[in-house]
Amino acid sequence: MTTIKETLLKGSPLRIPGTLVEFKTDDGLLLHGFLVGASQAKTCIIYVHGMSGNFYRHQLPFVLSIAARKKGLGFFSMNTRGHDSAAPIYYAKNYTKRKRKNTKKKKKIIGGTNFEKFEDCVFDIRGAMGTLRKMGFRKFVLCGHSTGCQKIAFYQYKTRDRSVAGIILLAPADDYNAHRKNLGKKWKSVVNLCKALIKQGKGNETRKEIPGGFSARRYASIADLQRVESRIFNYDGRLREFSKITVPVFAMFGSEEQYADRPVKAYLSLLKEKTHSKRFDSAIVQKGNHSFVKRENEVAKLVTRWLQFVR
């Protein structure tokens, strides 16, 4: 039988039996994800993608899903409203006025990384969990990649959800310092421009001065330390929100993390120093980059090995 690693090396597509699931967020938007495994397991890993990603773009979640299924776990790779760079996201037809004003006129929003509000990730994750509960799951392990790490950490910090058995952080990079150092002398002027546009009620506008096609409000979310997203994994800061998380944590970096401004071992040491979790573990995947390309199999082995300690 061909192994996962051999399949990836040959460039062959992974064929994974599963179910495409539509779910409703807590504020009435419709999102999608891919579920692998049966609900008889009662425990499901929920995978949250990073900036401009989605539930199917990278090999990583699908390799993880195969490993999880072999261990008798469910695995749900979900879209957030921040999937892709920009995307229309629709409200459910039965969404009531009591939840949001003028819902009949607002059939959709323009979502995607460039326009999402970071804090709304709580609505997305909670909505996915609600649907999975209806399918029979009772316990969840939140697994985030890149900015997905900020989202699952913020979710658990904000909700203290007792159904969450642990969180897995795959490449929890420091967006604030990475962008600050990348822009150099232009940093301050770009941040001030974003703040000015927000103050003028133009937070959803994009400007050529703002990198990556981000709206002013979205860029400020990672560029202004008054915003929670910028602080969660600002390794020069207090890591206050992360330190409030008490469930078991597994943090992982690739040794060739391209967004690191210091050895990744230093990041993991800081997380260990600040954590108040019941159990903290970490790993460095040799020759792994930010997305663990061609190292997905090693990541899957480490994750499934760790899960035996939190189940």
CATH of the domain at 294: 3.40.50.1820
Query: Residue 10's Cα: distance from chain center in Å?
Result: 28
Given 207, 232, 257, which residue is the final one in a domain? 232
Kindly state whether residues 119 and 205 are assigned to the same domain. no
Retrieve residue 141's tokens: 């392990």
Instruction: Give the chain's domain count.
Output: 2
Kindly state whether residues 55 and 154 are assigned to the same domain. yes
* 116 within 8 A of 123, measured Cβ to Cβ: no
Kindly state whether residues 110 and 140 are assigned to the same domain. yes
Domain that holds residue 93: 4-174+235-310
* 215 within 8 A of 206, measured Cβ to Cβ: yes
Kindly state whether residues 94 and 164 are assigned to the same domain. yes
Given 232, 254, 271, which residue is the final one in a domain? 232
Kindly state whether residues 181 and 159 are assigned to the same domain. no
Retrieve residue 261's tokens: 């401004």
**Spatial distance between the Cα atoms of 78 and 46, rounded to a whole number of angstroms:** 7
**Spatial distance between the Cα atoms of 56 and 69, rounded to a whole number of angstroms:** 17
pLDDT in tens, the chain (311 residues): 345 555 555 566 668 889 999 999 999 999 999 999 876 789 999 999 999 999 998 999 999 999 999 999 999 999 999 999 999 999 998 765 445 555 556 789 999 999 999 999 999 999 999 999 999 999 999 999 999 999 999 999 999 999 999 999 999 999 999 999 999 999 999 999 999 999 999 999 999 999 999 999 999 999 999 999 999 999 999 999 999 999 999 999 999 999 999 999 999 999 999 999 999 999 999 999 999 999 999 999 999 999 998 76
Retrieve residue 127's tokens: 């909505």
Given 232, 247, 280, which residue is the final one in a domain? 232
Kindly state whether residues 130 and 250 are assigned to the same domain. yes
pTM of the model: 0.93
Kindly state whether residues 292 and 198 are assigned to the same domain. no
* 58 within 8 A of 48, measured Cβ to Cβ: no
3-state class (DSSP) for residue 192: helix
